[in-house]
Amino acid sequence: MTTIHNLGFPRIGAQRELKFALESYWRGESSLDALQQLGAQLRQRHWENQKGLDLVPVGDFSFYDQVLDMGFTLGHLPERVRGFQGDALDNYFRVARGRSAPVSEASSTCCGGVAAGEMTKWFDTNYHYIVPEFTATTPFQLDTSRLLAQLAEAQAQGVQAKPVIIGPVTYLAIGKAKDGCDKLALLPRLLPVYAELLETLAAQGVEWVQVDEPILVTELDADWQHAFNTAYHQLKSCRVKLLLATYFGPLQENLYLAAHLPVAGLHLDAVNGRDDIVPLLNLLPAHKVLSLGVINGRNIWKTDLNAVLDWLEPLAQRLGSRLWLAPSCSLLHVPVDLANEQKLDTEVRSWLAFALQKLDELQLLATALRDGRHAVKDALAANQADMLARRTSARVHNRAVQSAVARISQHMGLRESCYAQRAPKQAALLQLPLYPTTTIGSFPQTAAIRHTRSEFKAGRCTTEAYKAAMQAEIARSVHEQEALGLDVLVHGEAERNDMVEYFGEQLEGYAFSQFGWVQSYGSRCVKPPILFGDIYRPHPMTVEWIGYAQSLTTKPMKGMLTGPVTMLNWSFVRDDQPRSESCKQLALAIRQEVLDLEAAGVQIIQIDEAALREGLPLRQSLWQEYLNWAVESFRITANGVRDETQIHTHMCYSEFNDIIAAIAAMDADVITIETSRSDMELLEVFKHFNYPNEIGPGVYDIHTPNIPTQEHIIHLMRKAAEHIPAQRLWINPDCGLKTRQWAEVIPALSNMVAAAKTLRAVT
């Protein structure tokens, strides 16, 4: 009998229930009890959704982030929040976002503002985690309250529970040493806490614990490889069976290490690491379980079940009950249920599977292995028909687009002149002061904006009324920016729902779900477009809105676009051709928009590539191939313009130091990046790399309600000026302001403008 299980389930809710409950609590509109009750209801529903599995994950639910959860379980709290006397969940939110709920008479201590934890991407996904902070004296002390409470709920519901935790080596690897200490030196202090946790779970009747160690799919030096042996030989005496889970890539040179760790089972990503399977069979001891992730947990295409069975059946015969099946990784990265969709057309919908449908696929595979394919022949035949229909659909393939990509030349990616020659021309045209101020693009998406957009989409608001409402919001944004004294303005993006979805809706080759939400961080959800076919732009997408905004001011107005690499990395991308091919199609489409904006008189065009780094392969040896086509795609998009047109790009919440040469090769005139949470740490790279163009290090952390002071902004910019000449520095927030409130934005930007004036006066 083949065991089927899941590594994790989406926690935000099919209708984003957790998002709305969190934000209500943070605004002070609902109680902590109400939030906790909603969490319990979601957990109960999600376990019910997974009742066909032999083992169900427990502990994968989180109110913000699973890495932060693990930190609290380990008693690993940043020093600035230790000793807090309020509710533990309030303290948790203080680490996650800088504060919990607003101050109230009933709870005057719960929301004392602190610096929020640094946030970065979870491996090569668009999920953001809170980075653990280490020093040489970091203490650990077990707190099982969260995990044991969820385990008790699951057991009361009759769930065959498999607790999920992040493994000790990965936990150390993804954290940051704030004092430069050796993180591995903390392992002897950390392992007894893990051992105590596992023994506590054993005492609750737990048989299997899933220990996530995705760092095993990266290139590890000898010290980190040794850390795995040290950790799991120390934990092997615990009375639970450990399923060591890896995902997001192949094990390759770590295959032998993983196979011989003293654990009861090993999970392998068989979607991204298929080539590991055969050699692993010859390495894995005969008593160990092999769990294969055969359903793609990161994309939304149906699985070719017949093809998977072709290679699974011999494995099942060889392994017998030692073979387990699961999705490749946690289903956190896909929407919950395709059955809710009313917006997707029948053809595209027939090609898709969301989380619940992926679990159905898993059960079909298990039944076919147990009872033979004839037991599910109708389902397999329907699946095969869907596979064929997608491969042959005229909506997927467009010869004109394919021919345009084939005609791409090296010249298309080159500016007329180098930056040193462009910069004086741009300066003469724009007449900007030292330390020019700007924002990243969006302003608050108020309830009124969202309501109007929703009414328009539902057909209850005319085109004329919608246009008038959006123009009024644009006018408000322009007025507020002029009153603040910003130097380069933006139109505020009132008409845009999402920086990728907005453009995808206007490009052929994309489809859009109604409830296809996935968690990006905390309460922030995104609804990735579905890139199913060849991409082209049938008409201009932004020119009218930007032109209207420019008509309201004499100051420069940035044209705002999303770049091809981010469009690709933040979409669910077709899997029937190389990603590089789809990216170049996007580059050609957005290039047309850039040229139209320039022709309309727009002097500054920002092409956001927020997701450039997250597309990097996890193995550094494969980086250059990706960076070659990613940078080429950006340059195709950006470089058809005249020297006088200033090109900006923006990147956020990633480590850029190790790809700074590629960023420089993009040759944007100005790049803006996140640096506020890391206290300008990202700029350390410029000690050794002479970045040639202009840069705007973000000084306002927009993912927290905390308002930066003028003094703090000056401090950050002076640190920046140690690495970049003041003549090439801009001042800006670290990301768009759509998730903030005007009451927060105005004082924060006022402080930013005041800081710029102070810096100009003393420079």
Is 493 annotated to bind a ligand? Reply is yes
The closest of 128, 91, 92 to 674, measured between CA atoms, is 128
**Higher confidence at residue 538 or residue 112?**
538
pLDDT confidence of residue 343:
86
Domain boundary residue among 357, 392, 427?
Answer: 392
| Inside any domain, residue 30 | no
Say if residue 488 is in the same domain as residue 347. Answer: no
> Which CATH number fits the domain that encloses residue 451?
3.20.20.210
How many Cβ atoms from other residues are within 10 Å of residue 155's Cβ? 15
Element (H, E) at 619: none
**One domain for residues 338 and 466:** no
| Closest listed residue to residue 269, CA positions, set 235, 304, 218, 306 | 218
From CA 227, how far away is CA 207, in angstroms rounded? 25
Asked whether residue 384 is domain-assigned, the answer is yes
Separation of alpha carbons 547 and 147, rounded Å: 54
**Which tens digit of pLDDT belongs to each residue from 48-66?**
999 999 999 999 999 999 9
475 to each of 122, 468, 727, how far by Cα in Å?
38, 10, 31
Do 513 and 344 meet the contact criterion of CB atoms below 8 Å apart?
yes
Instruction: Indicate whether 171 and 278 sit together in one domain.
Output: yes
Q: Is 19 annotated as a binding residue?
A: yes
The amino acid sitting at 736 is G
Residue 679 is given by DSSP the state T
> Distance between CA 156 and CA 145 in Å, rounded?
16
Q: Is 304 annotated as a binding residue?
A: no
Q: Is residue 500 located within the same domain as residue 366?
A: no
Tell me the sheet residues that pair with 732.
698
| Residues 591 and 721 placed together within one structural domain of the fold | yes
Position 193 scores a pLDDT of 98
Residue 111 falls inside a structural domain:
no
Confidence of residue 689 (pLDDT cuts 50, 70, 90): confident
110 has pLDDT over 80 = no
Distances (CA, A) of 281 to 113, 246, 250, 256, 522: 53, 16, 14, 11, 39
State mean pLDDT over 25-52. 97
Once rounded to an integer, what is the mean pLDDT over residues 698-727?
89
Q: Closest Cα to residue 655, out of 53, 98, 129, 58?
A: 129
**358 annotated binding-site participant:** no
- Judged by DSSP in three states, 659 sits in helix
User: By C-alpha distance, which of 66, 78, 84 is closest to 127?
Assistant: 66
Which tokens is 391 given?
Answer: 């491969």
Task: Return left, alpha or beta for 205; rule: phi > 0 is left, psi -120 to 50 is alpha, else beta.
Answer: left
Please indicate, yes or no, whether residues 176 and 296 belong to a single structural domain of this protein. Answer: yes
3-state DSSP assignment of residue 586: helix
Q: Among candidates 247, 149, 119, 150, which has minimal Cα distance to 703?
A: 119
Note the pLDDT of residue 108. 41
Is it the case that residue 109 has pLDDT exceeding 50? Answer: no
How many independent structural domains does the chain possess? 2
Q: CA 267 → CA 41, 292, 537, distances in Å?
A: 29, 6, 42
Whether the per-residue pLDDT at 111 is higher than 80: the answer is no
Is 650 annotated for ligand binding? yes
Which of 207-221, 557-571, 679-693 has the weakest average pLDDT?
A: 679-693
Q: According to the model, what pLDDT value does residue 706 have?
A: 86
344 known member of a binding site: no
**Pick from 427, 736, 515, 673: which is nearest to 14 by CA?**
515
Angle between helices 32-49 and 88-97 in degrees, nearest 10: 80
**Residue 582 is assigned to a structural domain of this protein:** yes
- Does position 653 have pLDDT exceeding 60, yes or no? no
How long is the chain?
763
Say yes or no: 478 and 381 in one domain: no
Rounded Cα distance between 165 and 150, Å, is 13
The answer to whether the annotation marks 18 as part of a ligand binding site is yes
The C-alpha atoms of residue 532 and residue 537 are separated, in whole angstroms, by 15
Q: Hey, which bits of 428-566 come out as E strands?
A: 508-511, 518-521, 524-526, 530-536, 558-562
| Same domain membership, residue 437 and residue 379 | no
Query: What's the pLDDT score for residue 48?
Result: 98
pLDDT at 129: 96
Is 440 annotated for ligand binding?
Answer: yes
CB 257, CB 215: distance < 8 Å: no
Contact 625, 132 (CB under 8 A): no
Query: Percent of the chain having pLDDT more than 70?
Result: 98
Q: Order of strands, edge to edge, in the sheet holding 508-511? A: 508-511, 530-536, 572-573
Name, in order, each residue with C-beta under 8 angstroms of 129's C-beta and a sequence gap of 6 or more. Answer: 65, 66, 67, 68, 119, 120, 121, 122, 174, 521
441 annotated as belonging to a binding site for a ligand: yes
- The model carries a pTM of 0.89
Residue with the larger pLDDT of the pair 300 and 684: 300
Average pLDDT over residues 212-226: 98
Cα distance from N-terminal residue to C-terminal residue, the chain:
74
So what's the pLDDT on residue 613? Answer: 86
Domain span at 435:
419-506+541-762
Is 442 one of the annotated binding-site residues?
Answer: yes
SS3 assignment, position 60: coil
Query: Helix, strand, or coil here: 95?
Result: helix
For Cα atoms 128, 130, 133, give the angle at the middle one, nearest 5 degrees: 145
Q: Was 570 annotated as part of a binding site?
A: yes
Tell me, yes or no, whether 460 and 601 share the same domain. Answer: yes
Residue 680 lies in a domain: yes
CB of 191 within 8 A of CB of 236? no
Q: Is 491 a catalytic residue?
A: no
pLDDT of residue 367: 98
Average pLDDT score over residue span 527-555? 97
| Pair 350, 452 in one domain | no
pLDDT average, residue stretch 251-276? 97
Helix/strand/coil (H/E/C) assignment for every residue in 479-492:
HHHHHHCCCCECCE
Burial readout 48-76 (b: 16 or more C-beta within 10 A, e: otherwise): ebbeebebbbbbbbbbbbbbbbbbbbbeb
State residue 105's pLDDT score: 38
- Strand (E) or helix (H) holding 529: none
Give the Å distances, CA to CA, from 554 to 309, 430, 551. Answer: 64, 11, 8
Band (pLDDT 50/70/90 cuts) for residue 107 is very low
Tell me if 124 is assigned to some domain. yes
Strand partners, 606: 560, 648
pLDDT value, residue 656: 73
d(CA 554, CA 489): 10
One-letter amino acid of 572: F
Domain presence at residue 97:
no
Closest CA to 269 of 133, 124, 390: 124
The one catalytic residue among 333, 491, 648, 703: 703
Buried b (16+ CB within 10 A) or exposed e, 561-585: bbbbbbbbbbbbbbeeeebbbbbbb
Nearest 5 degrees, angle CA 502-CA 503-CA 507? 130
pLDDT of residue 607: 98
The phi and psi torsions of 293 (rounded to 5 degrees) equal: -85, 90
Model confidence band, residue 112 (pLDDT cutoffs 50, 70, 90): low
Residue 212 lies in a domain: yes
pLDDT at 609 over 70: yes
- The CA-based angle 202-59-80, given to 5 degrees, is 105
Q: How many CB atoms lie within 10 A of CB 405?
A: 18
Instruction: Give the integer Cα–Cα distance in Å for 664 and 693.
Output: 8
**Is 126 labelled a binding residue?**
yes
Q: What would the mean pLDDT of 184-199 be, rounded to a whole number?
A: 98
Judge whether 121 is annotated as a binding position. Answer: yes
User: What are the CA-CA distances from residue 152 to residues 54, 148, 206 (Å)?
Assistant: 18, 6, 11
- Taking residue 349's Cβ as centre, other Cβ atoms within 10 Å add up to 16
Q: What is the mean pLDDT of the chain?
A: 94
Examine the domain organization and report whether 685 and 577 are in the same domain.
yes
614 is in an annotated binding site: yes
**Statement: residue 661 has pLDDT above 80:** yes
Do residues 386 and 437 share a domain? no
